[in-house]
Structure 1
Amino acid sequence: MPETTATAAAPTSDADPFAPEHLADPDPLHQHLRDTGPVVHLTRYNVHALARHQEVHAALVDWGTFQSGAGVGLANFRHEKPWRPPSLLLEADPPHHDAPRRVLREILTPLALRRLRETWQTVADELVETVLAEQGTEFDAFTALATAFPLRVFPDAVGLGPYGRENLLPYGNMAFNAFGPRNDLVQADAHRVAELSAWVNDQCVREALSEDGFGARIWAAADRGDLTPAQAPLVVRSLLTAGVDTTVHGLAAALYAFATHPGQWQRLRERPELARVAFDEAVRWQSPVQTFFRTATKDVDIAGTRIPEGGKILMFLGAANRDPRRWSDPDRFDLARDPSGHVGFGMGIHQCVGQHVARLEAECLLTALARRVAHLELAGPPRRHLNNTLRSWVQLPIRIRTAS
């Protein structure tokens, strides 16, 4: 983004995007911010908000101007001590970011995922059959499907043991809450920070991991000198932090989308090869990761507004993904749409390195459901779980009719 001297003050808003009412229903605020301007100064936190797709996309790809290394939350690591060692993927920039990302890209290859596909499809088929047999035609799809499937297959792939996996979602909830202000949501987790952090750290050491998982391959990279021994457990931790919650809530978003758009479910049943498109469209439509921050490395102009060096910008990924300037009829979930270009997985060098893993999980689960379920609909009002960063769930009651 070029610098310019022709700058003007951005329009202001005293809205708190982390207030419970906005976390529960962010769409009205997102529309307000998009309509107010390409840049809006949020006076409550003294940050500049970007809610339109063009500006969000441009900031995400310009890592040199908008750094992640000062923290992707409200806290500025230039002045504040992180609550945990920063993520080598999410909260680091080149050159510190390069080796960990390169190692993960070499591990999470298309060939590695093809080897997982058959096993994961079998697990998904078995899970669907078990849920239908044991719970019948009405059940909580968030717990029974969107949570159960990723918590089974992804920790297996990383190489975790069978015990303690119930800690993964609470740890992720705590980590994503920490990207926001120190509000009641953060305080609610405070008593478990030490316990959950210790458990996750214990899973990242070489001895805790199976010999054939992603985690062991990360440690093998350290043995080769591609990572340092100190970096290896942090890279494993990044997989466990970012690879569970976002997939769980992305799958829940897809199930919610189909339960409220029955015609789209029929389209998927007729064309099951659309499963991956469906997942991306659900991620665009619901945006499990709603916001991330960046920090300006110099004075920079965005659409006529000067962002000072060291200033924080707040990128509303969820708002960008429903920007009518970029998407036609953006509030509709539509499998006829090409959702590529959405920023639900980020963009640029910090784009989610595990996004294809999440897509494979979604493809397997949605394919299994499409084989057995002719129709699904909401059986009651869904319940959201509030988080400073995630668009998350606690319950998604659905009613299904099985295929004859």
Structure 2
Amino acid sequence: MSVDQTSTPAAVADWVDLAAMVRDPYDTYRRLRELGPVVWVPALKRYLAVSFAACSAIEADQETFSASVRGSSALMARALGAQPMLRKDDPEHASERTPVNSCLRPRSIKANWLPLFEQNAETCLAGLLERGPDEADLNRDFAAPFAARNLIDLLGLRGASPADLTRWSHAFIAGFANLAEDPGIWARCGTARSDVDALLDELIPYYRRTPDGSMTSAMVNSDQPEESVHANVKLTISGGLNEPQHMVTNIVWALSRHQRQRDDVLANESLWSATFDEAVRWLSPIGMYPRQTTRETVLDGVRLPAAAEVGVVVGAANRDPAVFERADEFDLSRAKKPHLGFGAGTHLCAGHWAARISIGEVAVPLLYRRLRGLGTDRRRTEHWQGWVFRGLTTLPVTWTP
């Protein structure tokens, strides 16, 4: 991308209320898109790319838009203690990602991990049933422990419990989004880092002696230094738990508010794949991630200076009406189009197939097969949180015993 005479400076959105975005960002996203594809937000001290075209262009050009973000937006590296692969460009990114790719291909997942996903789903369903239809919280009693058990298996974190994974993931995710520099959040990140580092100090020599098919074993037995293994395991604990658990609750929440579409899915199980994709688009669990310009450039007609910090707001891009008809609606019948819920390009989420299979083919269909009349319980309070990462932290559900 080179600067041209038809480009314009970014519009300024000095009205953005971060607290309102945490509660519900979608009205803010709509107003930002109306201002332009890329907008300067003083409250965040960064540009936000909010159009589908702008976000896609960023992912297609890592030479201009670097994932190796420095300065005030390098929250992920601070939370994890080092730069993970997600904050590196190729060839460094590729060298660290390649060892785990073989663990996460569809054939490998179905051959090696599908039976464990099914076993974990049954175990967590038993816990949900024990709570009963008047007290069950789908996030607390099923989604979070299911995602945590799967992640323990995928990573090979021998000795860790689902409660450990949940605590660590929440601490790291809060650190990634700690734009306000809350010292309590950094303290929790420090505790989580120490816990995971202590576990890996035991597991790294174990996997050198006894390699297996887990992601940690693959990393340990590659050429990456131990610091990178530590950072990338922590990265996987964060995204590998947070997004899958939110996808379980997001799908159930969406279907509970679209009864006709729920009935269509239950009558035709081939629609589960479309249900998963539409939920990821409509309620993107990853709302924003950072990039930084390596030179002065033009993005979707907007001039950006060198070293500009840019937020890639895929939560806004996935509801861009220029790409998706009736973009604010949940619609399983819409024409299939690529979305950015898992990112794109070289940084496409490595675990997207694991999420599709464990959530879209195992967990959510199992819930609807075994819990007659499953839906959200509107007698009790649900709670959404976040925009950098967004999901239901509380989702009361009920069913017919």
Q: TM-score, normalised by structure 2?
A: 0.89
Q: Give the deviation of 1:350 after TM superposition.
A: 0.8
Matches within 5 A, 1:1-400: 1-16=1-16, 19-71=18-70, 75=73, 82-115=78-111, 116-136=113-133, 139-180=136-177, 182-183=179-180, 186-205=182-201, 206-207=204-205, 212-219=212-219, 221-222=221-222, 225=223, 227-338=224-335, 340-362=337-359, 363-380=361-378, 382-384=381-383, 386-387=385-386, 389-400=388-399
Q: Give the deviation of 1:230 after TM superposition.
A: 4.0
Higher helix share: 2
**Structure 1 residues 163 and 45, CA, compared in 2 at 3 Å: closer, same or farther?**
closer
Q: Give the deviation of 1:211 after TM superposition.
A: 5.2
**Structure 1 residues 24 and 188, CA, compared in 2 at 3 Å: closer, same or farther?**
farther
CA distance in 2 between counterparts of 1:10 and 1:219 reads 41
Aligned partner of residue 268 in structure 1, secondary structure: helix
Aligned partner of residue 48 in structure 1, secondary structure: strand
**Structure 1 residues 6 and 261, CA, compared in 2 at 3 Å: closer, same or farther?**
same
Residue deviations 1:357-387, cap 9 Å, x none?
1111102101211212342332126533534
**Structure 1 residues 198 and 135, CA, compared in 2 at 3 Å: closer, same or farther?**
same
Indicate conservation of the 8 Å contact 2:102/2:108, yes or no.
no
Residue deviations 1:208-267, cap 9 Å, x none?
778545145324532xx4x34443333323322221111111222112112211222222
Q: Give the deviation of 1:200 after TM superposition.
A: 1.8
**Which amino acid in structure 1 is aligned with residue 50 of structure 2?**
A
Alignment RMSD: 2.6
CA distance in 2 between counterparts of 1:340 and 1:114 reads 25
Q: Give the deviation of 1:63 after TM superposition.
A: 1.1
Q: Give the deviation of 1:93 after TM superposition.
A: 0.5
Indicate conservation of the 8 Å contact 1:290/1:317, yes or no.
yes
Indicate conservation of the 8 Å contact 1:278/1:335, yes or no.
yes
Indicate conservation of the 8 Å contact 1:268/1:370, yes or no.
no
CA distance in 1 between counterparts of 2:161 and 2:130 reads 26
Aligned partner of residue 313 in structure 1, secondary structure: strand
Q: Give the deviation of 1:85 after TM superposition.
A: 3.8
**Which amino acid in structure 2 is aligned with residue 104 of structure 1?**
V
Matched residues, percent identical? 23
Q: Give the deviation of 1:308 after TM superposition.
A: 0.5
Indicate conservation of the 8 Å contact 1:322/1:330, yes or no.
yes
**Which amino acid in structure 2 is aligned with residue 53 of structure 1?**
F
**Which amino acid in structure 1 is aligned with residue 186 of structure 2?**
A
CA distance in 1 between counterparts of 2:124 and 2:78 reads 39
**Structure 1 residues 386 and 74, CA, compared in 2 at 3 Å: closer, same or farther?**
farther
CA distance in 1 between counterparts of 2:341 and 2:212 reads 30
Residue deviations 1:271-313, cap 9 Å, x none?
2233233222111111111111110011001233210110111
CA distance in 1 between counterparts of 2:334 and 2:55 reads 21
**Structure 1 residues 5 and 39, CA, compared in 2 at 3 Å: closer, same or farther?**
same
CA distance in 1 between counterparts of 2:74 and 2:367 reads 44
**Structure 1 residues 291 and 208, CA, compared in 2 at 3 Å: closer, same or farther?**
farther
**How many corresponding residue pairs?**
394
Indicate conservation of the 8 Å contact 1:87/1:234, yes or no.
yes
CA distance in 1 between counterparts of 2:192 and 2:254 reads 32
Q: Give the deviation of 1:34 after TM superposition.
A: 0.9
Residue deviations 1:98-156, cap 9 Å, x none?
11111111222222201221332233234335523541365211112211211122212
**Runs of 5+ consecutive residues of structure 2 not aligned to the other structure:** none
CA distance in 2 between counterparts of 1:105 and 1:29 reads 36
**Structure 1 residues 110 and 304, CA, compared in 2 at 3 Å: closer, same or farther?**
closer
CA distance in 1 between counterparts of 2:228 and 2:320 reads 38
**Structure 1 residues 130 and 40, CA, compared in 2 at 3 Å: closer, same or farther?**
closer
Of stretches 19-28 and 189-198 in structure 1, the one that deviates more from structure 2 is 189-198
**Which amino acid in structure 1 is aligned with residue 4 of structure 2?**
T
Q: TM-score, normalised by structure 1?
A: 0.88
Indicate conservation of the 8 Å contact 2:103/2:109, yes or no.
no
**Which amino acid in structure 1 is aligned with residue 11 of structure 2?**
P
CA distance in 2 between counterparts of 1:107 and 1:15 reads 45
Q: Give the deviation of 1:55 after TM superposition.
A: 1.0
**Structure 1 residues 304 and 200, CA, compared in 2 at 3 Å: closer, same or farther?**
same
**Runs of 5+ consecutive residues of structure 1 not aligned to the other structure:** none
Q: Give the deviation of 1:202 after TM superposition.
A: 2.5
**Structure 1 residues 339 and 147, CA, compared in 2 at 3 Å: closer, same or farther?**
farther
Q: Give the deviation of 1:41 after TM superposition.
A: 1.5
